[in-house]
Structure 1
């Protein structure tokens, strides 16, 4: 039944049934945005050359669907792979338990709400109880109402209201609990995996494969051969086993399906283990992966890539540079005549017989965040191409002739007038012949009319004096004809889509913007899931791989199978270990802060890059902190800060001596002296890097002379600019070191440094 009601190519009811086989997800490659999944299926060779594979997610990208035969009879190949959605009816037992609990909670909430409403109605009715005296006749004297009756009525009302209010309070609390339970179950269902069935009727994706008939060549198999012993006995069991194996290989196929899914992404995360005194460390890559593809990745071979799954490959366009009078660049026409005989291309499709009319979708309100409509081609006079003809590019419908009147829109029917009667439908054969003749005439008219219009576009525009749409003198207010100018979206050739046989006859075989994402259409479930996954907040210190990878792409293969449910949340997966050279060093900048900071110097001596991301640092089996690891290219070196080290003390003192020098005391000498003391109170040796700074002269008559054993950084960086000076000191356990440095600034005697002569 599913084969006859498929949305793709429909099969005849009298044809053979296509066998359906399940497929198993084998491997997944997650890119910076999106993933490529590969499924495998071991199936028997179908007698009719067609089979169907099930188990695919609904959110797959049909453009990326690929199929091939990995193992099977020689000559067997896949000639067509067609994606077909099939509606499936689920029984209540097949729905997840969470969905059943949510339905029960909603029913319980509705029942409690109804009881609460009935109690409130009873309270209102009881409150409205009043003693109504009987209507007195004209000649009847006034009656006395006994007070006991009033008191009994009041007591009855009070007693009933007390019971009803108590019941209303209980129902209010019960209703609050029921609403809370419904909210909790709804949130759990939204966070649960989207792979299982949720609704009683759902649409699943299947792939209809068409195979080439195999070349059934007779293979006698390994015989005795000339060198074999002819007198050796042949076991009948062995011969039967060989024949069965050959028959199995000749009738079984190993098929692989490959497709892309957009709702998947990953970011790197790490765990660094280091022991004091060791020269190496273990950096474990633990990626955070999130996916909402509609299928659970259970026991799959996982690979992670920093490349883009779908990236434009447009070549840069260089424009000519001219010296002289400024001239606007001519806009590209972007138009080419349709090829001759385009209508005959679909003659066989039309001769196959009438096809059932497609179901028209129910108009829905535009969803928030829907993609904008595809731009239409403007026409002369301020109208759009879609308002005048059903074709986008003008390939099918010929444009109006120059000077001809524009076609008037049909007048609306007056209120209350009967609807016009539809024309009688012609016979199928006559309808096909008429459609073929009209399509051919339309295509010929389009080619001739559009070519003529494009040829006379420049003359008409110059004659108007104001470009397209300008009014000419004494024309009766009519606008001269101007050919349609192609929009920027129509010149985006990689994004254009070829119209198939289901398109109108005038648009068949032509290129146009894709129909998906136009105004009034809701986004597809795959696009909605992809947008929701892009908006998912990143973990702390996480960096997208495309940002940290730069101009290079890297791939990481997981060492073990992974399980990632389709719930749209982050899941941590251990990918593998990256050996690094790690050494512990300490850095202090006493001119800014008299504290010593511990750092781990990471050297990547492997051919694999380490992308930026959060790293959990463990030193001597004790968790230290979670820091941000920068990108570490192959052969690169980076520092990772581990916080303040209290076991190493630093102190800094400065002195300034000002004097004059020169033959006529025409120079002022500012002698700055720096004294730094370090004390190591750790139980191990430590290497400390002391960073100081010296001023940089910006004028020729200012000289700076250094006198210290420090040195400038080998490669300046934002952390260590060229004015930085470094000391590297090795302190033994309990050791002490004193560092003396300084510099002299010589300036003219009549000048002073802005901000004061003291630089420290």
Structure 2
């Protein structure tokens, strides 16, 4: 075994933390450290964010990783494992083209036969009129009819063959689009590896560093998840089984096979930079000192290109990434202009030589940030419409006050000089280089397409339902999720919840009783909003929507009509007058409600009624019933004004009658809004 082979270590994906968008992957590698300490760990995905790479040594005190960087290589794919799906699509496209040519050939023959007409011979002026031979006409018509009949039969077969091949091509193309992106998409396989330098000088004994275990952590885009639930209980029980599940979709470029999955609601692209606290001084105002290593752009920089513009545009070059689904790669992926730096920071000029700056220390990577970091998918990375020209980026606003360059603009090794073909405000100036080559940018754009997947029914994005808090859920077992960009269901675990079943009825609107489950979250972790499949007594009932339930919170989940409970409502109105001169109209409303429980267990039923409300002091409303006014809660628990509730305990097979009512006393000079309606 050569030294080059010994330095190449394989790795295994061990765990993944899926955030609202994107994921953090953890790989493990094991091997013997060579004398020079240089190790190349393979198996990393093409969409890896180079700035998120972390590496450390596990279980070996004194051994550390002193350098870590990402290396990209390419090598021809082997012929032993052909791309079956892509080969099948290409073969079906050839068959479709051949079937279309046969169909078009038959259509041409049909038009030729259909155009056959009898043409009499030319007649001279002195020749007498000749009779047309009818037998010849009939023979030609029979010939045309016979040929057209045969050609139309062949045309039907050709069109059926074309339709069948087109259907098979659509199925094969759909399978190719849904296939895992873990396999190479071209004849050249791109390999991504982490080049590490392992320092074993701190190890106590040489044999302690002979074989070490490395842990690699990196971020990738193209992963999303939404929560889902399954609620199972039995009628009459005070507890239920709530199984938390998650729908996960990923197109990161590597299959997650047998990995531990954790689900987090945090935003992976959120900036974690510490704010700069500036001192406040009392006294004369002093100018803000210019940052070290910065010089203003020279004056007259645009005059350098006065001779270039009259020469006309340069010829277009044909270069681009390999064929892939989607639109063209944005200009930023080719090292073009990045988005403007927040704060209106001025650009670095090519003619201005930067002042000496302290050397930049080598580091293994930085956490992903939203402000221009490689993991923060900028607006320029969005796919453009096919055939549409990329819009010109807006010119940066003129800077006011002292210059405030960002950290990326002070990283001189990463600055690139913009050429004369750039837009007017960028020509001849230095800008941070794009961290991705065109091929990598195309891979990342395809990975980000999973964010546009339609959500399952009743599903809610975790960031929208988590509110201002972040939560993490760890799966109980390892799972497999291929990189195909479709939803896959993963079981997270079982959550104990309290449950009681209540029945509601509003007979004045609808004489139907509805069942609801009241869930109480007794755990210390919130339940996010999402779809819930309800199973009662091992029978599937329905799929509803579970709202966000904080620790200790209570919510209701509708279970649909309860046909075992019958309700009947009758209302009676009697109008009369009162007073010395009959100047007051009295509207006496009486309500009679009958309830019958046909279930095999006792139930608690809430009967809702409404009484009118008034803001006029002369109009009086007198209630005559044992109902109560509900306590209003926040949000959906708030009741309409005038709501009254009867709470009734119905035994199994029992019935109850409820009587109530109210009187409305209206002076003669008053009237109900919209007329004196009596019901």
Q: Which residue of structure 1 lines up, in the alignment, with residue 312 of structure 2?
A: none
- In the TM superposition, residue 101 of structure 1 has moved relative to its aligned partner by 2.9
Structure 1 residues 539 and 193 mapped into 2: Cα distance closer, same or farther (>3 Å)? same
Structure 1 residues 645 and 316 mapped into 2: Cα distance closer, same or farther (>3 Å)? farther
Q: Which residue of structure 1 lines up, in the alignment, with residue 170 of structure 2?
A: 183
- Superposed counterparts of 1:331-480, under 5 Å: 336-339=290-293, 362-363=318-319, 367=327, 370=330, 374=338, 393-397=346-350, 440=353
- In the TM superposition, residue 256 of structure 1 has moved relative to its aligned partner by 0.9
Decide whether the 8 Å contact of 1:702 with 1:748 is kept in 2: yes
Structure 1 residues 547 and 218 mapped into 2: Cα distance closer, same or farther (>3 Å)? closer
Structure 1 residues 491 and 191 mapped into 2: Cα distance closer, same or farther (>3 Å)? farther
- In the TM superposition, residue 755 of structure 1 has moved relative to its aligned partner by 2.7
Describe the superposition over 1:269-313 as per-residue Cα deviations: whole angstroms up to 9, x where unpaired: 111111111111111112111101011111110111112111146
Which of 547, 551, 554 is the aligned partner of 1:637? 554
Q: Which residue of structure 2 lines up, in the alignment, with residue 541 of structure 1?
A: 458
Decide whether the 8 Å contact of 2:416 with 2:432 is kept in 1: no
Which of 659, 675, 683 is the aligned partner of 2:600? 683
Decide whether the 8 Å contact of 1:195 with 1:295 is kept in 2: yes
Q: Which residue of structure 2 lines up, in the alignment, with residue 296 of structure 1?
A: 255
Asked if 1:61 is matched to 2:20, the reply is no
Q: Which residue of structure 1 lines up, in the alignment, with residue 514 of structure 2?
A: 597
Asked if 1:486 is matched to 2:399, the reply is yes
Asked if 1:698 is matched to 2:623, the reply is no
Aligned partners of 1:704, 1:543: CA distance in 2, in Å?
A: 45
Which of 640, 656, 666 is the aligned partner of 1:737? 656
- Superposed counterparts of 1:87-486, under 5 Å: 87-109=74-96, 173-218=160-205, 247=207, 249-312=208-271, 336-339=290-293, 362-363=318-319, 367=327, 370=330, 374=338, 393-397=346-350, 440=353, 485-486=398-399
Q: Tell me, what secondary structure is at the counterpart of 2:615?
A: coil
- In the TM superposition, residue 395 of structure 1 has moved relative to its aligned partner by 3.1
Decide whether the 8 Å contact of 1:338 with 1:395 is kept in 2: no
Q: Tell me, what secondary structure is at the counterpart of 2:50?
A: strand
Describe the superposition over 1:87-111 as per-residue Cα deviations: whole angstroms up to 9, x where unpaired: 1211232234323333443454556
RMSD of the alignment, in Å?
A: 4.6
- In the TM superposition, residue 671 of structure 1 has moved relative to its aligned partner by 3.6
Q: Which residue of structure 2 lines up, in the alignment, with residue 48 of structure 1?
A: 36
Q: Which residue of structure 1 lines up, in the alignment, with residue 378 of structure 2?
A: none
- In the TM superposition, residue 188 of structure 1 has moved relative to its aligned partner by 0.7
Aligned partners of 1:499, 1:160: CA distance in 2, in Å?
A: 79
Q: Which residue of structure 2 lines up, in the alignment, with residue 714 of structure 1?
A: 631
Aligned partners of 1:643, 1:619: CA distance in 2, in Å?
A: 12
Describe the superposition over 1:300-327 as per-residue Cα deviations: whole angstroms up to 9, x where unpaired: 101111121111468999xxxxxxxxxx
Decide whether the 8 Å contact of 2:7 with 2:33 is kept in 1: no
Aligned partners of 1:601, 1:502: CA distance in 2, in Å?
A: 60
Structure 1 residues 636 and 45 mapped into 2: Cα distance closer, same or farther (>3 Å)? same
Aligned partners of 1:155, 1:756: CA distance in 2, in Å?
A: 85
Aligned partners of 1:582, 1:202: CA distance in 2, in Å?
A: 55
Asked if 1:76 is matched to 2:63, the reply is yes
- In the TM superposition, residue 114 of structure 1 has moved relative to its aligned partner by 6.6
- In the TM superposition, residue 41 of structure 1 has moved relative to its aligned partner by 0.7
Q: Which residue of structure 1 lines up, in the alignment, with residue 532 of structure 2?
A: 615
Structure 1 residues 187 and 712 mapped into 2: Cα distance closer, same or farther (>3 Å)? same
Decide whether the 8 Å contact of 1:370 with 1:522 is kept in 2: no
Indicate the structure with greater strand content: 2
Which of 576, 583, 593 is the aligned partner of 2:500? 583
Q: Tell me, what secondary structure is at the counterpart of 1:525?
A: helix
Decide whether the 8 Å contact of 2:295 with 2:355 is kept in 1: no
- In the TM superposition, residue 128 of structure 1 has moved relative to its aligned partner by 12
State which drifts further: 563-572 or 622-631.
622-631
| Structure 1 gaps, min length 5 | 1-14, 131-150, 220-246, 318-332, 343-359, 378-384, 386-391, 399-438, 445-482
State which drifts further: 629-638 or 652-661.
652-661
Decide whether the 8 Å contact of 2:245 with 2:492 is kept in 1: yes
Aligned partners of 1:294, 1:39: CA distance in 2, in Å?
A: 15
- Superposed counterparts of 1:9-24, under 5 Å: 19-24=7-12
Describe the superposition over 1:237-264 as per-residue Cα deviations: whole angstroms up to 9, x where unpaired: xxxxxxxxxx3x4311111111111101
Aligned partners of 1:701, 1:552: CA distance in 2, in Å?
A: 51
Q: Which residue of structure 2 lines up, in the alignment, with residue 350 of structure 1?
A: none
- In the TM superposition, residue 22 of structure 1 has moved relative to its aligned partner by 1.2
- In the TM superposition, residue 696 of structure 1 has moved relative to its aligned partner by 2.8
Describe the superposition over 1:37-59 as per-residue Cα deviations: whole angstroms up to 9, x where unpaired: 11111121122111111111111
Structure 1 residues 107 and 561 mapped into 2: Cα distance closer, same or farther (>3 Å)? same
Q: Which residue of structure 1 lines up, in the alignment, with residue 486 of structure 2?
A: 569
Aligned partners of 1:750, 1:724: CA distance in 2, in Å?
A: 28
Q: Tell me, what secondary structure is at the counterpart of 2:81?
A: coil
Aligned partners of 2:607, 2:405: CA distance in 1, in Å?
A: 58
State which drifts further: 112-121 or 36-45.
112-121
Which of 6, 27, 30 is the aligned partner of 1:39? 27
Aligned partners of 2:565, 2:405: CA distance in 1, in Å?
A: 64
Structure 1 residues 608 and 71 mapped into 2: Cα distance closer, same or farther (>3 Å)? same
Aligned partners of 1:492, 1:626: CA distance in 2, in Å?
A: 54
Q: Tell me, what secondary structure is at the counterpart of 1:268?
A: strand
- Superposed counterparts of 1:503-518, under 5 Å: 503-504=416-417, 515=434
- In the TM superposition, residue 174 of structure 1 has moved relative to its aligned partner by 4.0
Could you tell me the TM-score, scaled by structure 2's length? 0.73
State which drifts further: 678-687 or 528-537.
528-537
Aligned partners of 1:59, 1:535: CA distance in 2, in Å?
A: 18
- Bigger CA radius of gyration: 1
Aligned partners of 1:119, 1:303: CA distance in 2, in Å?
A: 60
| Structure 2 gaps, min length 5 | 118-137, 277-286, 297-315, 357-395, 420-425
Aligned partners of 1:523, 1:704: CA distance in 2, in Å?
A: 74
Aligned partners of 1:259, 1:189: CA distance in 2, in Å?
A: 28
Q: Tell me, what secondary structure is at the counterpart of 1:52?
A: strand
Q: Tell me, what secondary structure is at the counterpart of 1:572?
A: strand
Decide whether the 8 Å contact of 2:348 with 2:430 is kept in 1: no
Decide whether the 8 Å contact of 2:16 with 2:24 is kept in 1: yes
Aligned partners of 2:528, 2:418: CA distance in 1, in Å?
A: 53
Q: Which residue of structure 2 lines up, in the alignment, with residue 624 of structure 1?
A: 541
Decide whether the 8 Å contact of 2:46 with 2:440 is kept in 1: no
- In the TM superposition, residue 631 of structure 1 has moved relative to its aligned partner by 1.7
Which of 653, 661, 669 is the aligned partner of 1:750? 669
- Superposed counterparts of 1:519-530, under 5 Å: 524-530=441-447
